[in-house]
Amino acid sequence: MAEMMGNVSVLTFFTLSGINYTMQHRIILFALTLLYYAIVWIVNVVLILTIIVDRKLHEAMYIFLCNLCINGLYGTAGFYPKFLNDLLSPFHFVSYAGCLLQSFVIHSSSGSELSILAVMAFDRYVAICRPLEYHSVMTTRRISLLVAFSWLLPFYCMFINTLAIVQLKLCGSHIPKLYCSNALIDKLACSKSIANTAIVYFNIGIYILHLLFLLWTYTYLIKTCLTSKHGRKKFMNTCVPHLVSLISYCFAVLFDLMYTRYGSNMLSQSLKNFLAIEFLILPPVINPLVYGLKLTRIRDRILGFIQGQKESV
């Protein structure tokens, strides 16, 4: 939608498509989505509070995990409230500023998740491959810098991308997705922007470096663990949850990229919707559940709290 200011057309709203279900199906989907979003909050908040409250868990691995869960809540907050509102509304509009904000939150969260996973991989590399140097390498100052890096880099990447998008003159207002995406806003541009294209490839390059670092780290981790029984045990206890989170993230983002770049009219709308939001469905629940069940100290702390509550009743 656009308003006329003098002789200039100014875009004020975008329309989102994808919710083409009947009202009866929308109400069922609303109830299921609301329940799932509540589960996302419960499992993540339980893990965050467990780590904050228990001083024995104030170590690098658990601090990074806490940030991973916080990021899960941040990213899903950019999608679920708006989606729930759209399910009950006959019109699916979003303001220009609101669209840019939603895209920023969702995609900066996605970038931050990869950055946090890379930082967690580095922590496991030092713990398993250089155990004698661990406490001298993973100092409080370095942990703080790594946490800041995992948040500020994705924010910076999305900020410059959003600034480039703001400069574009748009010739359309229809976004064929359940939520806003800078890549789809860019497709609405009247002409291609060299600056925006350069920024997109710059951002892609940064996250390719993340993936190469993760590949390098796990190559060394696996080599080290194969030569030591203790190393294998440590790998199974602390690296397997990380690998599950990483694989879940990679598949989820791959699905989103496939939808954004190569969405096909041959696919059903429901399948395209799932491909678009899979990274907002599985990782936010898988991460806290896998770590909560696999990491002994967190599992014991949560079970101890539950048993204590039962005994006091």
CATH number at 174 reads 1.20.1070.10
- Lowest-pLDDT range of 39-43, 84-88, 257-261, 271-275: 257-261
What pLDDT sits at residue 266? Answer: 61
What pLDDT sits at residue 259? Answer: 63
pTM value is: 0.87
Within its chain, how far is the Cα of 294 from the centroid? 21
DSSP category for residue 12: -
Which H/E stretch holds residue 95?
Answer: strand 93-95
More confident residue, 173 or 118: 118
Number of independent structural domains in the chain: 1
Q: Is the pLDDT of residue 5 over 60?
A: no
Closest C-alpha to 274, from 258, 290, 250? 258
Integer Cα distance of 261 and 255 in angstroms: 10
| Start-to-end C-alpha separation, the chain | 57
Integer Cα distance of 243 and 136 in angstroms: 25
- Lowest-pLDDT range of 126-135, 176-185, 206-215, 289-298: 289-298
What pLDDT sits at residue 70? Answer: 96
Q: How confident is the model at residue 312 (pLDDT cuts 50, 70, 90)?
A: low
From the CB of residue 137, how many other CB atoms can be counted at a distance below 10 Å? 14
Q: What is the pLDDT of residues 147-159, one digit of tens each?
A: 999 999 999 999 9
DSSP alpha helix (H) spans, 54-168: 60-77, 80-87, 96-129, 134-137, 140-166
Integer Cα distance of 277 and 253 in angstroms: 9
Q: How confident is the model at residue 9 (pLDDT cuts 50, 70, 90)?
A: very low
Q: Is 85 exposed, middle or buried (0-12, 13-18, 19+ CB in 10 A)?
A: exposed
Which H/E stretch holds residue 8?
Answer: strand 8-11
Q: Is the pLDDT of residue 216 over 50?
A: yes
Helices then strands (H, E): number in the chain?
A: 13, 5
Task: Give the range of the structural domain holding residue 258, as residue numbers without chain letter.
Answer: 2-312
Q: Is the pLDDT of residue 188 over 90?
A: no
DSSP letters spanning 155-208: HHHHHHHHHHHHTPPBS--EE-SSS--HHHHHHTBSS--HHHHHHHHHHHHHHH
What type of residue sits at position 287?
N
Q: How confident is the model at residue 2 (pLDDT cuts 50, 70, 90)?
A: very low
Query: What average pLDDT is seen over the chain?
Result: 83
Integer Cα distance of 44 and 77 in angstroms: 13
What pLDDT sits at residue 183? Answer: 85
What pLDDT sits at residue 192? Answer: 80
Q: Is the pLDDT of residue 262 over 70?
A: no
